[in-house]
Amino acid sequence: MTGRVLIIDGQASNRIVLKARLAAASYDPLPAADGETGLALARETGPDAILIDLDLPGAVSGVGLVRRMRADRRLSTVPLVALGGPQDHEGRIAALQAGADDVMTKPVNDLALLARLRNLLRRRVALEDLGGGVASVRDLGLAEAAETFERPGLVAIVTARPETALHLRRELSPLLSDRLICLSRSEALIEGAAPVPDVFVIEGQPSGDGGSLRLMSDLRSRASTRHAVFCLLRPATAEAEDAMAFDLGAHDLAKTGGDPRELALRLTGLLRRKRVSDNLRATVRDGLRLAVIDPLTGLHNRRYGLNQLAGIAEAARIEGECFAVMVVDLDRFKSVNDRWGHPAGDAVLVEVARRLAENIRTGDLLARIGGEEFLIALPGADLAEARMVAERLCQVIKESPITLTGGAALNITTSIGLAVSEGGAPLQREPVQVVIDRADRALLSSKSAGRNQVTVDRTAA
């Protein structure tokens, strides 16, 4: 993975070393010697990732620079890793509070740093794939405004010994508003457990046996926990496995026995980023659903209906079967809107859609394809069966009035045009649009003959 990485470090030797290491890994490094220069360069170039030494010279401190970058709309989502000294505990805490994605200890392990950059860049690309980033999703009108209330998250602490998990929970409880539960490794793998944790904190083993990595990989492969996030607790001596952990999908690493404030801040950041991912995923899912659903009736819309009908026709061609197409239109619907208003017309459409849906078979297609027009397809239905269904639909619409909110009862009828594509040799099959056109012609005949009836077009090709 390549990208432009901004290096902000007051020591020339550090910048030279980091630049060489990043260039060797096919990144495009941009060095800056102080905070003001780095901030200007970041705004000018739009880097893909930023490395900031917390011990910066000049008026802008490392933590202050992190805070200013996170307040800048153009830089707020750029992956940002702070580099701090091994004894600078308060600096690490302050950097995480300011919005750093991670704080790594100097001297930084080369493999771990490059793996962390790959990890953060993959995460950012994944968010962009969901919707072009948070700002773009809002610009498209697909995302609601952020709510001030955030539901508490569920954090599962998974350790080899129960007392270790209980100790961690006691340390973290005063620092988090989220719910903390303790699980054994076998309990974490139970399928169907509810509720599903948002975050798994998994303890690694001093022996470096890879047990935490295997557990994380297993949980990530399961449908119920694939969108959970993972923070691995690693012994200080396990640096060799840190790079592997990031490349296998760990969202964060923390040292066993470290400052609980740091772990709490890391978990808070993970939960915040997970909420963004979940919201984007829900937005995309809802957008896809709305793209094929008529918002008034809840039926499929014209685009989906015609696409599905083409699939029904193709399946019928392969199997040598017939299928039926109906076009259903409400009689004198304009008079309903003119006399009772459009809310009354909407209520009629919703009720008609409900009655139609309840009186066709599972597997049949029903879509709203116009203002008061519906398309129905019956796979495998011959003329006799299709006509029986059409007559039943006419009957269920007219047999009982539709009651409006104000108490008025409207008698509604429908006209239906029916066409059947007969089975036969594939080369003799008429195109699906021709079948729809025949059903449309039959609908016009129903209207001309007095409405409230079914007309069959028998002129198959």
Kindly state the tokens that stand for 456.
């069959």
179-183 vs 229-234, strand pairing mode: unpaired
Distance, CA of 141 to CA of 370 (rounded, Å):
25
Q: Report the phi/psi class of residue 272: left, alpha or beta, with left for phi > 0 and alpha for psi in -120 to 50.
A: alpha
Catalytic residue numbers, as ranges: 372
DSSP states of 276-301 as a string? HHHHHHHHHHHHHHHHHB-TTT-SB-
CA 281, 282, 283, 285 dihedral sign is: positive
Distant-in-sequence, close-in-space partners of 354: CB < 8 Å, separation ≥ 6: none
Distant-in-sequence, close-in-space partners of 385: CB < 8 Å, separation ≥ 6: 324, 378
Q: Is 337 exposed, middle or buried, given 0-12, 13-18 or 19+ CB atoms closer than 10 A?
A: middle
Half-sphere exposure of 33 (CA within 13 A, CB side): 4
Helices (H) and strands (E) in the chain, counts: 16, 17
